Amino acid sequence: MKMEQYIRAIAGLFILTSMALGYWVSPYFYLFTAFVGLNLLQSAFTGLCPMENILEKMFKIPRN
């Protein structure tokens, strides 16, 4: 898989998990959903993605 595919999969997982936790545990988990969405938005404009840096350092996944 390419880095972009990993980023999309992780973002989707985070969003679905935080939505489920917001529904069943506490509405405050929706704030995490908003954080992920804002991070995706800023990444689209700036090209900077913290998750990309984490994946690159932890698993040696090369950037595209």
DSSP string, the chain: --HHHHHHHHHHHHHHHHHHHHHHT-GGGHHHHHHHHHHHHHHHHH---HHHHHHHHHH-PPP-
Give the CA distances from residue 7 to residues 27, 28, 63, in Å, rounded to whole numbers and listed in that order: 25, 24, 11
Tokens 């972009």 sit at which residue? 4
Give average pLDDT by consecutive 10-residue segment, the chain, 64 residues. Answer: 89 96 97 95 92 87 72
Q: How many domains does the chain have?
A: 1
Q: Does residue 64 form part of some domain?
A: no
> Given this model, what pLDDT does residue 64 score?
66
> Given this model, what pLDDT does residue 2 score?
85
> Given this model, what pLDDT does residue 46 score?
94
Q: Does residue 26 form part of some domain?
A: yes
pTM recorded for the entire structure: 0.84
Q: Does residue 43 form part of some domain?
A: yes
> Given this model, what pLDDT does residue 34 score?
96
- Copy the structure tokens of residue 59: 């698993």
Q: Does residue 44 form part of some domain?
A: yes
Q: Does residue 18 form part of some domain?
A: yes
